[in-house]
Amino acid sequence: MIVETTRFGSISVVEEDILTFSEGMLGFSKIDSYVLVERMDESLFLWLQAVKKPSVAFPLLEPQILDRGYKVELEDEDRKSLKLGNDLSGAKVFCIITIPTDPTKMTANLKAPIVINLKKRIAKQVILHSQDYPIRKAIFSDLQQHCATHQRTIFPTTETTAYQAIHLSDEMKMILKEV
Amino acid sequence: MLVLTRKLGEAIAIDDDIKIVVVQIKGGQVRLGIEAPHHTKIHREEIYISIQEQNKLAAESQNPTPVKNVAKSVRPS
Report CB contact under 8 Å: A103, B62: yes
Q: Which residues of B touch A (CB under 8 A)?
A: 38-39, 41, 43, 47-48, 50-59, 61-67, 70, 72-73
CA distance linking residue A98 with residue A134, whole number of Å: 13
Write out pLDDT tens, residues A47-67: 999 999 999 999 999 999 899
Contact present, A107 and A85 (Cβ < 8 Å):
no
ipTM of this predicted structure: 0.90
pLDDT, mean of residues B50-61:
96
Min distance A78 CA to chain B CA atoms (Å) = 9
The count of domains in chain A is 1
What is the pLDDT, as a whole number, of residue B66?
A: 55
User: Above pLDDT 90, what percent of chain A?
Assistant: 59
pLDDT, mean of residues A130-153:
89
Min distance A38 CA to chain B CA atoms (Å) = 12
Which of A97, A102, A116 has its CA nearest to residue A174? A116
User: Which of B41, B55, B66 faces A96 most closely, judged by CB atoms?
Assistant: B55
Q: How far is CA A44 from CA A52, A136, B37, B39, in A?
A: 25, 19, 41, 36
CATH code: domain of residue A101: 2.30.290.10
Min distance A179 CA to chain B CA atoms (Å) = 31
The reported pTM is 0.82
Contact present, B18 and B6 (Cβ < 8 Å):
no
- Residue A58 touches chain B, beta carbons under 8 Å: yes
Report CB contact under 8 Å: B52, A45: no
User: Which of A127, A154, A158 faces B64 most closely, judged by CB atoms?
Assistant: A154
What is chain A's mean pLDDT, rounded? Answer: 89
- Residue A34 touches chain B, beta carbons under 8 Å: no
Range of the domain at A61: 2-153+162-178
Distance of CA A144 to the CA centre of its chain: 19
- Residues A38, A41, A42, CA angle at the centre, nearest 5°? 100
- Count of C-beta atoms within a 10 Å radius of residue A84: 21
